[in-house]
Structure 1
Amino acid sequence: MELANFLHDGKLITIPRKQKAKEVLFDALIDKFEFDHDYSEKEVNEILAEVYDDYAILRRYLVDTGRLARDDYGHHYRRIKK
């Protein structure tokens, strides 16, 4: 599955429906984050907003799929090693 099929000028057009395509997207997105670095919610939003206007949904997917960890208050995020 090619991630480029869902991008136009570096921006995500739509979130893929098929799970395999979503996994490719999420793997590409998580590579924008460094290990051993704490990110504020604002920083995460800024990184994801470069890719898609609805950055909140992307943030939620990355947390829900175990790629990003979020503190109990949603203030700090950290990339998880898989």
Structure 2
Amino acid sequence: GRAGGVPEVCPDGETGYLVDPESPQEIAEAILAMLADPTRARQMGERGHIRARELFDAKTTAAHVQSLYEEILERQAQ
């Protein structure tokens, strides 16, 4: 499996790199890629910060939890 996030949350190469935690080669390649292009690494970090705020802010999370509860209640009513 990949470490560092799931593709839906951390699109590989957009907000970071997803690597196999058991593969020193993949880990090293991801680190070297960031070191070779600090501008891109900084941009990925900025995009990751924005994405995290969008996906996990309190209002979004509360709305998601509410919709899950409503879905569960609808299923129980049937």
Shared fold (TM-score, shorter chain, > 0.5): no
| TM-score normalised according to structure 2 size | 0.31
Structure 1 length-normalised TM: 0.29
Structure with the higher fraction of residues in helix conformation = 2
Q: Select the structure of larger CA radius of gyration.
A: 2
Q: Which has the higher strand share?
A: 1
